[in-house]
Chains A and B, each alone.
Chain A
Amino acid sequence: MKLADLQTGEYGIITKVMGIGAFRKRIMEMGFIKGKKVYVVKNAPLNDPVEYNIMGYEVSLRRSEANLIEVISLQEARRLEPESLSSTYNGVFTEEKLRKTALEKGKTIEVVMVGNPNAGKTTIFNIASNSREHVGNYSGVTVDSKTASVNYKGYTFNLTDLPGTYSLTAYSPEEIYVRKYIAENHPDVVVNVVDASNLERNLYLTTQLIDMDVKVVMALNMYDELLQKGHVFDYQNMGQMIGIPIVPTIGSKGKGIPELLNKVINLYNDKDKTRRHVHINYGEDVEKSILKLRSRIKADVNHDVTLNFSSRFLAVKLLENDPDVHQTLSVCNNYPEIKMLAAQESKRLQSVFGEDSETIITDAKYGFIAGALKETYQGKFRTGKIKSVIIDRFLTNKYWGFPIFLFLLWTMFEVTFSLGQYPKDWIEQGVGLLSQQLHHYFPDGSLKDLLSDGIIGGVGGVLVFLPNILILFFFISIMEDSGYMARAAFIMDKIMHKVGLHGKSFIPLIMGFGCNVPAVMATRTIENRTSRLVTMLINPLFSCSARLPVYVLIISAFAPKYPGLILFSIYIFGIVLAAIMALIFRKFIFRRNEVPFVMELPPYRVPNPRSTVMHTWHKGQQYLRKMGGVILTASVIIWALGYFPRNAENAKVFDNKVISIENTYLQKASQENNIQTVSQLKKEKQQLVNEVVAQKEANRQMNSYAGRIGRFIEPVMAPLGFDWRMSVSLLSGIAAKEVIISTMGILYQADKNDNSNHQLIHRLQEQKYESGTHVGRKIFNPLTALSFLTFILIYFPCVAVVTAIGNESGSWKIAAFEVGYTTVLAWFLSFLIYQGGTLIFG
């Protein structure tokens, strides 16, 4: 009987808890588990909810919830006593006896068998139950459900053989029947019989059972046929990936049936470690729709519906325009709202993908299956779409897959660089023009200096790289939308395994090319904590787009011959370094094994131009927003640190020097009659004045707050070939990596007397040491540039990433470790490059 059937004052022992997902978990956490005694304290005035006493405390359950808990009452226990005993039974029915009866009753397992037509369900059903149902080798032998009982290892299995069905959509009466049976009868375990010789098609039904969030054991039937074909299937790995225990069976020979029943017992008793609920990823746009629909379906008023069906399953079915699910939900108070939203979302998906939502979801399911099989199955299998199979033959080929991946990456960086150069030059000219106009029309003063050197020099310096960023994101967007990014993760899977991670870790890592913050957050898809931590820790080694402008600037200035190749090499170096670090972390710090995942291989699509443009523009907006926020703020602060204090005494010394030069010139010029000689003297005077003005500016900067900070850290950075300005720029890059450029733009100011030399690239090329042993020598050379690039690639991720790591890992120690190891590693490698290079090349 059900808990809801107990009357006030009665009590019973729990024999079974049904229901799905969150409800089942919550109810069990509250103490409603097998063998516990429950009293009915009282009923609410309208008989709902009911107050129960369990484990010494009172709890109210709705009648619909109590209907999902099976109990045995005293009366029922007496009824169940063998007749011979009950007729002569005169004594007290003790609680101990009641518990024993409850235990016996709790050993009854309701099992349903589902599977594709002709997968061998009925054969297994017959062997397991010793029945003699008609079995044929053609589809649709089972047209109605059949039940049989079998005793095994002290358990009673109530087996139900349901009609064969390819899916749980509402196309045929069988499909509706199977779905309703599972939802309404709450079987303890669903045995999904799968034809091993036709895995891909059979697994489609499995994906729907996953969505339904029921306990499933998979009987991998006709396993012998698979082996005879010489195919290899790592079913244990597959089971772990999809969270379903798999037992190979040969129904015709009765092989594997005892193992299957053992697995059912384990699963029923919640002792199977493979079992977990996984979510099939339908992609960004569909998931967005699912989330919206789920929030409406899960509304409190729909409680009774969500007790039987997983809200995610219902949301997916609504997007598939399933009429039967509409019927189920029509009892909900907010059904009109749900219906309208489902229609809206289906329409939206159709406009984004150019296909109906049902096709999109089917494609995603086949993507999930293809990904799972690709990793576990060796042999031929047909994926959802022929087109995808053909393209995959090339793009994920054992030998060519990796070179193609590298080639595409190289193309991306080459185009980012070369194509971006033209608009970059235009913006640069525009910024230069603005600066000149400001100099011309704005009265002298600190505000003019702030606007010209701080804001135009700082923010303008970053703005010029907007085209490069847009091109990079355009490529990333095409790769994501076309389905290639998932393949990239797949190609990397082997390497990732070698470094102790799963290929799925590569997806958040690839996202790191955009921004490390969402990439760190995307590690949530990785269930295993140690894998997640390692992925988080190596993520900043994947160069984010904020570092791209710095790379472009330095490469343009010091290695203009092969810019694309060098940019590509930096990214690859980051990836290789990440792999090495992952290996080290796995070997010495995080040693636990991880849970395998399915990497979805969605079908290839021609990227929707609207969607690509929108994604690219979205990133462009983010970049511009960042410029108006953190970069502008940092530019003002860095400028102020470089501008103050204004030491009038020091300035006076240089001004006096200028006056003295001017006077000397005037004196000499007055004594000279030859015009050519006067002109020569004027030139020499101007050169001397320029030198003194430059010395004055250098002296002022050296004594500014930024200069003092720079000189303070310079001894640590000098072995890497960095002067104090580079050191301050790196320090400011902690706020955001683009700030490195704005800081360089502010600190490496143009010679104010030379209007042609306003571009930062030229300024960097001309910079010379002003003090120390290298005085007069150019600061930047290819070796310093390489050392600088290496340092930027590796060192301290920006403060937002560090915070994200702290929040996501739940440990600020991990965040501190991230900061520490990246900075030490950056210093060490830059030191090796600079000092090693100096030794070799002089």
Chain B
Amino acid sequence: MVQDVIVLALIIAAVLNVIIHGVKLVSSKAGTNSACGTCGHCDLKKTIIKHGAS
């Protein structure tokens, strides 16, 4: 029973995580530091600077 409750909580957390990331992903502005974390590239600006765009 305790195991089931923990599992349920973990599943709900995972689903919420998907929703939050989804919203962040769609609303994140490219080229800024407001990344969603989905791709692991949290500092996207660095990449832009590296290739000379401004």
Contact A446 B52 (CB under 8 A): no
> What separation, in Å, do the CA atoms of A634 and B30 have in the docked complex?
24
> What separation, in Å, do the CA atoms of A798 and B41 have in the docked complex?
14
> What separation, in Å, do the CA atoms of A552 and B35 have in the docked complex?
29
> What separation, in Å, do the CA atoms of A636 and B6 have in the docked complex?
12
Contact B46 A284 (CB under 8 A): yes
Contact B40 A288 (CB under 8 A): no
The answer to whether the Cβ of A800 comes within 8 Å of any Cβ in the partner chain is: yes
- In the complex, chain B residues whose CB is within 8 Å of the CB of A632: 14
- In the complex, chain B residues whose CB is within 8 Å of the CB of A736: 38-39
Contact A284 B14 (CB under 8 A): no
The answer to whether the Cβ of A344 comes within 8 Å of any Cβ in the partner chain is: no
Question: Which residues from 4 to 18 on chain B have a C-beta closer than 8 Å to any C-beta of chain A?
Answer: 4, 6-7, 10-11, 13-15, 17-18
Contact with B along A801-819 (1 / 0, CB 8 A): 1011001100000000000
- In the complex, chain B residues whose CB is within 8 Å of the CB of A511: 47
Contact A518 B11 (CB under 8 A): no
The answer to whether the Cβ of A447 comes within 8 Å of any Cβ in the partner chain is: yes
CB contact between A637 and one of B14, B48, B54 (< 8 Å): that residue: B14
> What separation, in Å, do the CA atoms of A280 and B51 have in the docked complex?
10
Contact A633 B14 (CB under 8 A): yes
Chain B CB count within 10 A is highest, among A443, A736, A799, A803, for A803
The answer to whether the Cβ of A508 comes within 8 Å of any Cβ in the partner chain is: yes
B20 to chain A minimum Cβ distance, whole angstroms, is 10
- In the complex, chain A residues whose CB is within 8 Å of the CB of B49: 284, 287-288, 291
User: With contacts A515-B39, A636-B14 known, is A525 near B21, CB below 8 A?
Assistant: no
Contact B31 A524 (CB under 8 A): yes
Q: Chain B's interface: helix, strand, loop or mixed, by majority? A: helix
- In the complex, chain B residues whose CB is within 8 Å of the CB of A518: 41, 44, 47
B39 to chain A minimum Cβ distance, whole angstroms, is 4
- In the complex, chain B residues whose CB is within 8 Å of the CB of A637: 11, 14-15, 18
The answer to whether the Cβ of A625 comes within 8 Å of any Cβ in the partner chain is: yes
Chain A residue at minimum C-beta to C-beta distance from B10: A636
> What separation, in Å, do the CA atoms of A281 and B49 have in the docked complex?
9
> What separation, in Å, do the CA atoms of A445 and B36 have in the docked complex?
34
The answer to whether the Cβ of A125 comes within 8 Å of any Cβ in the partner chain is: no
Contact B7 A799 (CB under 8 A): no
Contact B48 A633 (CB under 8 A): no
Chain B residue at minimum C-beta to C-beta distance from A632: B14
- In the complex, chain B residues whose CB is within 8 Å of the CB of A772: none
Contact B25 A803 (CB under 8 A): yes
- In the complex, chain A residues whose CB is within 8 Å of the CB of B40: 515, 622-623, 625-626, 629
Chain B CB count within 10 A is highest, among A279, A446, A515, for A446
CB contact between B38 and one of A288, A443, A448, A630 (< 8 Å): that residue: A630
- In the complex, chain B residues whose CB is within 8 Å of the CB of A412: none
Chain B residue at minimum C-beta to C-beta distance from A619: B40
- In the complex, chain A residues whose CB is within 8 Å of the CB of B46: 284, 288
Contact B39 A508 (CB under 8 A): no
Contact A800 B25 (CB under 8 A): yes
> What separation, in Å, do the CA atoms of A807 and B48 have in the docked complex?
14
- In the complex, chain A residues whose CB is within 8 Å of the CB of B7: 446-447, 450, 640
The answer to whether the Cβ of A31 comes within 8 Å of any Cβ in the partner chain is: no
- In the complex, chain B residues whose CB is within 8 Å of the CB of A804: 30, 39
Question: Which residues from 263 to 310 on chain A have a C-beta closer than 8 Å to any C-beta of chain B?
Answer: 279-281, 283-284, 287-288, 291
- In the complex, chain A residues whose CB is within 8 Å of the CB of B29: 807
CB contact between A446 and one of B4, B15, B21, B38 (< 8 Å): that residue: B4
B23 to chain A minimum Cβ distance, whole angstroms, is 11
Contact A799 B14 (CB under 8 A): no
What are 7 A-B pairs at a CB distance below 8 A?
A284-B50, A287-B49, A517-B44, A626-B40, A629-B40, A798-B38, A807-B29
Additional A-B contact list (17), CB under 8 Å, known A280-B52, A804-B30, A808-B30: A281-B51, A281-B52, A287-B49, A447-B3, A508-B51, A511-B47, A517-B44, A521-B44, A522-B47, A522-B50, A525-B51, A622-B40, A623-B40, A640-B11, A800-B36, A803-B28, A807-B28
Residues of chain A at the chain B interface (Cβ within 8 Å): 279-281, 283-284, 287-288, 291, 443, 445-448, 450, 507-508, 511, 515, 517-518, 521-522, 524-525, 622-623, 625-626, 629-630, 632-633, 636-637, 640, 735-736, 798-801, 803-804, 807-808
Residues of chain B at the chain A interface (Cβ within 8 Å): 2-4, 6-7, 10-11, 13-15, 17-18, 21, 25-26, 28-31, 36-41, 44, 46-54
- The 4 closest A-B CB pairs, nearest first, are A281-B52, A447-B3, A445-B3, A284-B50
